[in-house]
């Protein structure tokens, strides 16, 4: 089917854009029955809509900064990070406490080792002194034994302040000891000193009985002095008589 449309059959119209209403078709062809009052009403509606939009827009609250907004997806991560901080701090504190405890243990072990070392050296020196003194005693004759006993008598009297000066020799204060020392009998002390002089300056050896008299005098003096000493001085007297 072929249709032929000629120019006098063509028709055109325009459209007018009105704010807030859009494009409105208008018919301006002469003889059309278009009601132009509709156009006026549409324009009025557009103006009213524009005024309302102008009044509403300034009163709207500005959007909050995006930096302060925390999405629901970010909240678990934030809570997780906040929970992890104390855990890290607790872990570091526990590590520091552990290191301190280890240092204390090491210091204690070191102190124990030093104490044991000092005690071991002291005991070793004491044992060496005892062994040396006993060896010297068993190899000595009567004269040397009497001289060794005389040296012990001097140490006993020095420990109880029986000699007036510290470090003084008994030979220089024999008369002073006989008059002022209450731990011995003067006649026994004088007899022991005579035997010691004989052993030191005499040509011959002293007898066994003479040696026993000096030895018994030394024992009696030791026990008389020992009973009057304090605990610390008792230990000191035993120590010096064992190794010297």
Q: Which residue has the higher pLDDT, 53 or 193?
A: 193
Whether residue 39 contacts residue 26, with contact meaning beta carbons closer than 8 Å, is answered with: yes
What average pLDDT is seen over the chain?
79
Q: What is the pLDDT of residues 95-153, one digit of tens each?
A: 878 888 888 899 999 999 999 999 999 889 888 888 988 888 889 999 999 999 999 99
* Residues β-bridged to residue 23: 17
pLDDT at 83 over 70: no
Contacts of 205 (CB under 8 A, 6+ apart): 141, 142, 143, 199
Q: CA 210 to CA 204: how far, in whole Å? A: 13
Task: Give me the pLDDT at residue 1, please.
Answer: 64
Alpha carbon 18 to chain centroid, angstroms: 86
Task: Give me the pLDDT at residue 81, please.
Answer: 53
* Percent share of the chain, pLDDT over 90: 27
Task: Give me the pLDDT at residue 97, please.
Answer: 82
- Max intra-chain CA distance, the chain: 180
Task: Give me the pLDDT at residue 118, please.
Answer: 94
Q: Which residue has the higher pLDDT, 3 or 83?
A: 3
What pTM value is reported for the model? 0.52
Provide the 8-state DSSP code for 183: T
Q: What is the pLDDT of residues 147-174, one digit of tens each?
A: 999 999 999 998 888 888 777 788 888 8
Q: What is the pLDDT of residues 9-52, one digit of tens each?
A: 777 777 777 776 777 777 666 666 666 666 667 767 767 777 77
pLDDT at 70 over 50: no
CA atoms lying within 13 Å on the CB side of residue 53: 8
Q: CA 47 to CA 54: how far, in whole Å? A: 11
Q: CA 244 to CA 242: how far, in whole Å? A: 6
Between the two ends of the chain, the Cα-to-Cα distance in Å is 152
- What integer is the mean pLDDT of 213-231? 92
Whether residue 189 contacts residue 161, with contact meaning beta carbons closer than 8 Å, is answered with: no
Pair of tokens at residue 83: 């929970």
Q: What is the pLDDT of residues 195-205, one digit of tens each?
A: 999 998 888 88
């Amino acid at each position: 089917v072929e249709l032929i449309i000629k120019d006098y059959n063509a028709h055109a119209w325009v459209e007018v854009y009105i704010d807030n209403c859009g494009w409105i078709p208008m018919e301006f062809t002469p003889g059309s029955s278009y009601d132009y009052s509709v156009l006026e009403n549409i324009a009025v509606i557009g103006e009213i809509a524009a005024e309302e939009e102008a009044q509403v827009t300034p009163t709207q609250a500005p959007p909050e900064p995006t930096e302060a907004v925390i999405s629901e997806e970010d909240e678990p991560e934030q809570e997780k990070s906040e929970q992890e901080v104390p855990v890290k701090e607790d872990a570091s504190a526990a590590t520091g406490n552990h290191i301190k405890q280890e240092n204390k243990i090491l210091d204690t072990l070191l102190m124990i080792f030093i104490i044991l070392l000092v005690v071991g050296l002291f005991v070793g020196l004491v044992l060496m002194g005892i062994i040396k003194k006993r060896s010297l005693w068993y190899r000595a004759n009567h004269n040397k034994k009497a001289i060794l006993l005389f040296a012990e008598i001097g140490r006993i009297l020095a420990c109880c302040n029986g000699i007036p000066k510290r470090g003084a020799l008994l030979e220089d204060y024999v008369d002073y000891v006989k008059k002022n020392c209450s731990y011995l009998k003067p006649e026994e002390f004088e007899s022991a000193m005579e035997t010691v002089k004989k052993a030191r300056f005499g040509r011959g050896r002293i007898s066994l009985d003479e040696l026993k008299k000096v030895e018994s005098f030394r024992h009696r003096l030791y026990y008389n002095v020992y009973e009057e000493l304090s605990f610390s001085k008792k230990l000191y007297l035993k120590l010096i008589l064992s190794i010297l």
